[in-house]
Amino acid sequence: RTSLLESRSDFVLHFVNGPPDTCHDVCLCLLCVQDEGAYQEIPITHHVKEGCEKAEPSQFELLKVLGQGSFGKVFLVRKLMGPDAGQLYAMKVLKKASLKVRDRVRTKMERDILVEVNHPFIVKLHYAFQTEGKLYLILDFLRGGDVFTRLSKEVSISCSVMFTEEDVKFYLAELALALDHLHNLGIVYRDLKPENILLDEAGHIKLTDFGLSKESVDHDRKAYSFCGTVEYMAPEVVNRRGHTQSADWWSLGVLMFEMLTGTLPFQGKDRNETMSMILKAKLGMPQFLSLEAQSLLRMLFKRNPSNRLGAGPDGVEEIKRHTFFSTIDWNKLYRRELQPPFKPAAGKPDDTFCFDPEFTAKTPKDSPGIPPSANAHQLFKGFSFVAPVSLEESRSAPICVCVRCQMHGGVAQFADVYELKEDIGVGSYSICKRCIHRVTAMEFAVKIIDKSKRDPSEEIEILMRYGQHPNIITLKDVYDEGRFVYLVTELMKGGELLDKILRQKFFSEREASAVLYTITKTVDYLHCQGVVHRDLKPSNILYMDDSGNPDSIRICDFGFAKQLRGDNGLLLTPCYTANFVAPEVLMRQGYDAACDIWSLGVLLYTMLAGYTPFANGPNDTPEEILSRIGSGKFSLSGGNWDSVSDSSKDLLSHMLHVDPHQRYSAEQVLKHSWIALRDQNPHFQLTRHEAPHLVKGAMAATYSALNHQTCKPLLEPVAASSLAQRRNMKKLTSADMS
């Protein structure tokens, strides 16, 4: 563009503005000076190279609805042909007839901007095409959803939602690099808000939705349109005196303030009052923020855009040099080498668990669009686009139709894909059955959860996130069908661990230590990730097959499991510790982790002794069992104990210690000599004196007594939070547009 302007003096850059009292958008055009002195507008567009394959709707299979607005929908789709057959994308579909003139201009501008942009923190456009009535943008499918939807899923508190400063530092740094890239292309973003910040499956951000972005040439050129979400608007946008890229840095400050405090810096009872506050109100700076955070906010909230941080000749470098970002390695950040503070649950490629169920529950349907006026078709001339990488691949790869069998595709119900068989187990909130995949005839287990009795979200998140561990049950599929949720998992054909051990006439210390090592190693992995199981009874530890090999052990049933969360409700990785967690939360987490170890101690005791430590039989009352547990006394003499090593007794004493603060951690168990030197443990065969059903009955009585006394706090849904209510007020809830 710049070279064209420099070489052709008869072309000038022009912003077409509506009257001052309207909200007409700005369209970037080249004005060709004709001989008569008149001007002819020529839109700046991009065209597909002649001879290249154009995409069309029939090449994409609709799987789910990801979002919906007043102009159209966003679908999860699968490419059916071409070199990228089977690839998942997000398909944005807009009805031409529903678009006003300014909206048509915005859509065309969004397409043109996405063609130009190639950046690790900005969503990528793969295809753009149109039919007589609709426009299609094929974009990256980002399984993490948007930042606010993540908050809605992660937070179960009734107060406002906040991020930690470490979270904010990471996300703002990636956003700053994305905005700087746009600015270097002469683009003002103008609509920075949590809904437009997506997370990929690794937890990195991707900026999306360029319908309100505006192409410019340099900082001296200004746009005058009134657009964007009013709470995030810079003062110069509100008063329509013209704005440049500096307006985006104000919006970055608004986003930072909101993420750190859970509230907006300037928000009145209505739109007019909010705009007045943006222009005049004094910023109320929360004193709980660090001095570095307060300093950055003050420098971003300069009402004179020329004085704002990032508006100087160094641009984004001014922001990068600020002390708030002193710990950021910007080169590693750009290369995506820094660990994000939050990693979305990673299940199957087409999982949409991170998206709003208000949309994903809808049937994906793309109905024919009503043809627009003739001039609308002219506006979108040259709309089609194929990303260069797709073109290169298409020249070398044959076009084929994807016929891959899908475990879970489109709108299929559980019963369409699986055939239910006999019961495996029955619980208070769920029932587990064997099932068979109708196409492959493969056997699986399905846990059917009644959502009216228990929210399965936490269990699903944990299984999606950690189910790839070799000793954690693998989640294969999830079907949400209203009242019931179906969790399809691998089938544990080897049965319960304790069943298998008790059926063996003889069992040695060496075998017991190998079993305990595998289970404790898995528990240690979970605890290091901030996950506590809280229900590690032997019936939830099973064998994958009949081999009896400890490697085939799986920890199952995460119905009571919890993930460590910060004060803001977001999950915490090991690098985010006590600085961001309330002491009582850490204490509770430590208590739950100690309970996991206590359960493993009960299992070890039973494996070695042949009976349980605190219940004499299935008929013991809960009061009797709890009294023995509370006393912390158990026998380590008589029977098998006369043949068991002192090392195993020492480990047991630490695992079953009545004081959870003095109880061993999983890491300490693994370092104990009985585990670390397990290959040297005795081969001596320990005998079984009690019938297996009596031992299992006593074990069941033990955990029944424990569960009987457990009180679980009631938490309000995130919809009660002020942030969620504010978002819901703005959410477009138009009727189905099909």
Annotated binding-site residues for ATP read 66-74, 92, 424-432, 447
Short-list 62, 57, 55, CA closest to 128: 55
* End-to-end Cα spacing for the chain: 39
Per annotation, catalytic residue among 84, 112, 146, 191? 191
Q: How far apart are the C-alpha atoms of 117 and 511, rounded to whole Å?
A: 59
Q: How far apart are the C-alpha atoms of 409 and 417, rounded to whole Å?
A: 9
Residues 404 and 169: beta-carbon distance below 8 Å: no
Please report, in range form, the residues annotated as the binding site. 66-74, 92, 424-432, 447
As to burial, measured by CB atoms within 10 angstroms (0-12 exposed, 13-18 middle, 19+ buried), residue 631 is: exposed
**Structure tokens of 443?**
């056997």
**In angstroms, what CA-CA distances link 184 with 75, 219, 223, 629?**
31, 10, 16, 67
Q: How far apart are the C-alpha atoms of 76 and 299, rounded to whole Å?
A: 40
Our answer to whether residue 84 is catalytic in this structure is no
Q: How far apart are the C-alpha atoms of 415 and 488, rounded to whole Å?
A: 12
**In angstroms, what CA-CA distances link 268 with 159, 227, 532?**
19, 18, 43
Residues 26 and 223: beta-carbon distance below 8 Å: yes
Our answer to whether residue 535 is catalytic in this structure is yes
Q: Please give the backbone phi and psi of residue 86, each rounded to the nearest 5 degrees, phi first.
A: 90, -15
Q: How far apart are the C-alpha atoms of 488 and 448, rounded to whole Å?
A: 9
**In angstroms, what CA-CA distances link 130 with 285, 380, 414, 516, 624?**
48, 8, 35, 61, 73
Going by C-beta distance under 8 Å and a sequence separation of 6 or more, which residues neighbour residue 156?
569, 715, 716, 717, 718
Q: How far apart are the C-alpha atoms of 430 and 424, rounded to whole Å?
A: 11
Per annotation, catalytic residue among 112, 180, 535, 557? 535
**Structure tokens of 190?**
């103008």
Q: Please give the backbone phi and psi of residue 69, each rounded to the nearest 5 degrees, phi first.
A: -135, -170
Strands 27-33 and 685-687: unpaired
Neighbours of 514 (CB within 10 A): 18
Residues 345 and 464: beta-carbon distance below 8 Å: yes
DSSP three-state, residue 258: helix
DSSP three-state, residue 419: strand
**In angstroms, what CA-CA distances link 346 with 1, 412, 486, 546?**
42, 21, 18, 29
Q: Give the CA angle between residues 476, 480, 483 to the nearest 5°.
A: 135
**In angstroms, what CA-CA distances link 15 with 11, 182, 223?**
13, 19, 7
Short-list 332, 147, 353, CA closest to 255: 147
Q: Give the CA angle between residues 670, 673, 674 to the nearest 5°.
A: 85
Which residues are tagged catalytic?
A: 191, 535
